[in-house]
Structure 1
Amino acid sequence: MYALSFMYPTETGVDFNWDHYTSVHLPLGAGLTKKLMGHNIKQMIVQRVRGAGEPGNDAPYYVLCHAMFDTKEEVDKFSTLFSYPEAKTRLTQDWPKYTPHDPEAIVSEWIVMDNIDEMISRFENELEPAEPASATAA
């Protein structure tokens, strides 16, 4: 699975407008992708960072949004969305309505590691040091 992830930097004392982001910006991005590129984003996984932007919390981002795709070709195509003038204009003009900074973006491959039982078994049988012999032997 592949993702284009958008990361929204924090600023102490400044709020991220979650309602605008989820009710306007995300539908705008999904709709422009369909309209201009002719394909859908498979899903969006949105991470909302707890306490971001609050004094004393040094979380670097308010939100990370991962637009997910099945193939490298799909994510590579989606990464060109801002080459369409309508998408670039409408999306960048919307940013100040919910975030104080332009988002950062990266493309990545996601690998789900769901073999937890196997990992724990390897830890217990191969990676955990053997218990030392008792020091109280007669």
Structure 2
Amino acid sequence: MRRWYGQFFGFIAGWLLLRHPVGGLLGLLVGYAFDHDAFSPSRKPAPKRDAPPRPDAGNADVDWAYRVFDLSESASDAQIDRAYRKLMSQYHPDRVASAAPELQKLAEQKSREINAAYDRIQKLRKK
């Protein structure tokens, strides 16, 4: 069960400390963060969703390749091509050439990942 009392007590404390309705709003926001464990030191980072495949992964790299495009294995070739073109138009390094270097590096990584997934699917489909 999710906690609720952080929001309630945060609202009351914020209102009383700042003596203004804005204080209540700030307290409500802090209480919301408390209820959702934002201040907890035991909070683990979210697992990486699109990890590149390992060579000994077996069937996991097939699942990874389809997950990159957010498609199922029963998707048609046209759907895969459409998803590939859409993602490449979004993450192509030439598209972000004038952006910050960090964004350029991220776009290069993502486009490499998209190309690897597309190549893997094409190899599987030709068998």
State TM-score, norm by structure 1: 0.22
Report the structure, 1 or 2, having the larger strand content. Answer: 1
**Greater RCO (Cα-Cα under 8 Å, separation 6 or more):** 1
Report the structure, 1 or 2, having the larger helix content. Answer: 2
**Whose radius of gyration is greater, 1 or 2?**
2
